[in-house]
């Protein structure tokens, strides 16, 4: 006998995997942009390499998924939880596609979190949002780029001091080799954090729909989200790669290594703390920090300004869009 709750849950799973797939070519482009722009890895090799490392990273942790699944709102007390999740996912997917089309490295994390909060507010009221948990997530999203900028700045200065008398050609060759490892570290860390957001949203829907009673991530959810992100990564995101790899600063192997190492470390620490962060914000900020260490004027601040504007407007726009979509979906 057909269970009526399975239709909306199936829609949620489809949309969540679609979001994960889009996230794969939208955000994973950030993780390999530096290694491609410095010619440490050929583009196709870098993309396939990142897809494998993303898959491994996505299968390794679940803490961030549980944060997404329970810190923004309690799915056990929502009357229209599955509709809320459907509206949030549609909103986040639309925003990701729009920013991808225009080559804007905006945050999929901001899009999903803003959308979920907006849909909860319209669907269940302001009091249904867990503001303490929501603020904790937003604080992590704000602080992580600032920390990444600082760490990138420090690492690049250390490299300049340590290797100031070394042969430039040899330094470039050595750092290109090292970038292969930092690109892997970068893609793995991305998988540990970003793929879990879709795992969390599916788990949220499963709890809201009464299919499970806790926020434990089921194995099929982990595997399907990991595979969706890996497939999305294999498609590539050339518009974002161009913006990250060439339009912020002119990257060299040493600066690419510094940016990759700084951002990947920040992301993996956030994962261990169960905090969702924006890989886009973290990677872009570490590149800006690295560029500032070389010469403040070497950073194309006009591009950086456009990114910051996109980052700032993502939360309110996606929250509003999700609220509108919730009203439309609830009509059916």
- Three-class SS of the chain: CCCCCHHHHHHHHHHHHHHHHHHHHHHHHHHHHHHHHCCCCCHHHHHHHHHHHHHHHHCCCCHHHHHHHHCCCCHHHCCCHHHHHHHHHHHHHHHHHHHHHCCCCCCHHHHHHHHHHHHHHHHHCHHHCCHHHHHHHHHHHHHHHHHHHHHHHHHHHHHHHHCCCCCHHHHHHHHHHHHHHHHHHHHHHHHHHHHHHHHHHHHHHHHHCCCCCCCCCCHHHHHHHHHHHHHHHHHCCHHHHHHHHHCCCCCCHHHHHHHHHHHHHHHHHHHHCCCCCCHHHHHHHHHHHHHHHHCHHHCCHHHHHHHHHHHHHHHHHHHHHHHHHHHHHHCC
- Segments in the chain below pLDDT 50: 1-2, 245-246
- State residue 33 phi and psi, 5-degree precision: -60, -40
Query: Phi-psi bin for 41: left (phi > 0), alpha (psi -120 to 50), beta?
Result: beta
- The two tokens of residue 94 are 């639309």
**160/168 Cα distance (integer angstroms):** 11
- The two tokens of residue 23 are 């996230």
- State residue 125 phi and psi, 5-degree precision: 105, 160
The total of other beta-carbon atoms located within 10 Å of residue 297's CB is 9
**16/229 Cα distance (integer angstroms):** 11
Q: Given this model, what pLDDT does residue 23 score?
A: 78
**211/215 Cα distance (integer angstroms):** 11
Q: Given this model, what pLDDT does residue 216 score?
A: 87
Q: Given this model, what pLDDT does residue 24 score?
A: 76
Cα 34 to chain centroid distance, Å, stands at 16
Q: Given this model, what pLDDT does residue 245 score?
A: 46
Q: Given this model, what pLDDT does residue 303 score?
A: 67
Geometric angle at alpha carbon 15, from 201 and 331, rounded to 5°:
95
**268/236 Cα distance (integer angstroms):** 22
pLDDT digits (tens, 9 = 90+) for 45-100: 777 777 788 888 888 888 888 888 778 888 888 888 889 999 999 999 999 888 87
Q: Given this model, what pLDDT does residue 166 score?
A: 84
Q: Given this model, what pLDDT does residue 249 score?
A: 53
Q: Given this model, what pLDDT does residue 115 score?
A: 94
Q: What's the start-to-end Cα distance of the chain, in Å? A: 23
pTM, 2 dp: 0.84
């Amino acid at each position: 006998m057909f269970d009526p709750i399975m239709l909306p849950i199936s829609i949620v799973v489809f949309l969540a995997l679609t979001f994960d797939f889009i996230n794969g070519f939208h955000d994973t482009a950030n993780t390999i942009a530096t290694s491609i722009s410095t010619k440490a890895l050929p583009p196709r090799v870098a993309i396939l390499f990142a897809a494998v490392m993303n898959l491994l990273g996505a299968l390794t942790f679940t803490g961030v998924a549980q944060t997404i699944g329970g810190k923004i709102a309690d799915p056990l007390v929502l009357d229209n939880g599955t509709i809320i999740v459907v509206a949030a996912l549609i909103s986040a997917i639309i925003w990701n596609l729009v920013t991808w089309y225009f080559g804007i490295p905006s945050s999929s994390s901001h899009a999903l979190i803003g959308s979920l909060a907006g849909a909860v507010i319209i669907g269940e009221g302001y009091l249904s949002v867990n503001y303490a948990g929501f603020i904790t997530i937003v604080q992590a999203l704000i602080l992580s780029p600032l920390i990444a900028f600082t760490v990138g700045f420090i690492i690049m200065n250390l490299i300049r001091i340590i290797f100031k008398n070394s042969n430039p050609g040899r330094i470039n060759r050595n750092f290109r080799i090292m970038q292969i490892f930092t690109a892997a570290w970068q893609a793995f860390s991305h998988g540990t954090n970003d793929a879990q957001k879709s795992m969390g949203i599916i788990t949220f829907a499963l709890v809201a729909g009464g299919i499970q009673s806790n926020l434990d991530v089921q194995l099929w959810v982990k595997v399907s989200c990991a595979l969706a992100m890996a497939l999305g990564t294999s498609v590539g995101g050339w518009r974002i790669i161009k913006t990250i790899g060439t339009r912020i600063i002119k990257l060299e192997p040493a600066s690419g290594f510094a940016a990759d190492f700084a951002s990947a470390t920040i992301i993996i620490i956030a994962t261990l703390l169960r905090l969702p962060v924006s890989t886009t914000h973290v990677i872009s900020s570490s590149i800006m920090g690295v560029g500032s260490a070389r010469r403040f004027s070497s950073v194309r601040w006009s591009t950086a300004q456009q990114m910051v504007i996109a980052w700032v407007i993502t939360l309110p726009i996606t929250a509003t869009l999700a609220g509108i979509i919730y009203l439309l979906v609830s009509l059916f």
